[in-house]
A and B are shown apart, each in its own frame.
Chain A
Amino acid sequence: MKKDDKVLVVIPAYNEEKNIEKVINDVKKNIKFADILIINDKSKDNTLNIIKKCDVNYVDNVFNLKYALSIQTGIKYAKENDYDYVIQMDADGQHLAIEAEKLYQTAKKEKSDIVIGSRYLVDLGYPCPFFRRVGTKAFEILIRLFCHKKIVDPLSGFQCINKRVIDRYSKLGGYPEFPDANLVIDMLLSGYTIKEVPTKMKVRTDGESMHSGIIKPIKYMCVMFYTCIIVLIKNIGKRKEN
């Protein structure tokens, strides 16, 4: 096993002054083989200063680009600097760095294009709001219906992607606003392999989630379902062309 793979951990952060330092230290301690890149998505609080103090590579977005485009910025960075693997993590401390290595090893050993860290694959005692569980279940069914593959947690932001996917994502125009289930479906239909690995996750302690409140998650679910359907229609067209 050659050890000279270049791995990049991309952590998009928006208003995470309470969590970011913990996360950076966690990653530094537990993923020694990888470089870290923090994407500061124009946070309104003190996040940028904390990142600067932590002595890591960071990108400071020129304006608020939202989660998806921040990730894409990180992937573009990986592409430019010729990384072999990118591990996406959230800055809120939900994803544990110790688990990231598991993702990377799986991606490497099983030659899987995308490895998703899943909360529900094995019951590891992750307490999850009812609403989110229902949504996740619905997407699972949708994916199984159209792609004949069981992805239990397609909404997880804890992923490891290889070079082939980095290439594709960095060129992807119209990068979706929420790159979750729709992207999973799109990648599966385009012939990429996706593998799931059970990971432990913590519950967010401080700061506010992207999906907080009542209206936002509902809107999110509607947008998500709509995008999934559009992705399916798009791919039907593509298949006929081939």
Chain B
Amino acid sequence: MKNIYFIILSVLVILYILYSIRKNKISIKTSFSWMILCIIMLFLSIFPKSIDFVAEQLGVYYAPTLLLTGCVVLLLIKNFNSSKEIYYLQEKVNYLAEEVSLLKSKKTGKK
């Protein structure tokens, strides 16, 4: 069992995600995709040969590149979604800041 380390790592990451959810540090919705990722990780560390099988099906010559490409693509998607989320939040903050500034001025400013 050479891959025991990877199994332990995956399990630890899963536990950490669960812990974060319990402590309210991450929303259940966002944790979902990370959890899926971890489960794939766990699956691959238990059955390392499966990646070879998938690579063969997809016509990828060297299996590890498939793994790396998959990771990069996933991270890019995740990053893009984060950008979208940040923009959405920024818009909301801007709106609130404007409104609060106006409300405050109503209180203090002369009429």
B102, B104, B109: the one contacting A76 at CB < 8 Å is B102
How many B residues touch A, CB cutoff 8 Å?
14
Given the known A-B contacts A57-B110, A59-B109, are A80 and B102 also in contact in the complex, defined by CB atoms under 8 Å?
Answer: yes
* B98 at the binding interface (Cβ < 8 Å): yes
Interface of B is mostly: helix
A/B pair count, beta carbons within 8 Å? 44
B91 lies within 8 A of A61 (CB): no
* A125 at the binding interface (Cβ < 8 Å): no
Bitwise, A197-211 to B at CB < 8 A (1) or not (0) is 000000000000000
Interface of A is mostly: mixed
* A213 at the binding interface (Cβ < 8 Å): no
B98 lies within 8 A of A72 (CB): yes
* B100 at the binding interface (Cβ < 8 Å): yes
Q: How far is the CB of A223 from chain B (nearest CB, A)?
A: 15
A55, A63, A174: the one contacting B97 at CB < 8 Å is A63
Chain A residue contacts of B108, Cβ below 8 A: 60
B110 lies within 8 A of A60 (CB): no
A73 lies within 8 A of B101 (CB): yes
Chain B residue contacts of A57, Cβ below 8 A: 105, 109-110
Having A61-B101, A62-B97, A76-B102, one finds 14 other A-B pairs with CB under 8 Å, namely A55-B110, A59-B102, A59-B109, A60-B101, A60-B104, A62-B100, A65-B94, A65-B97, A65-B98, A65-B101, A73-B98, A77-B102, A77-B105, A175-B94
**Footprint of B on A, CB under 8 Å?**
39, 55, 57-63, 65, 69, 72-73, 76-77, 80, 173-175
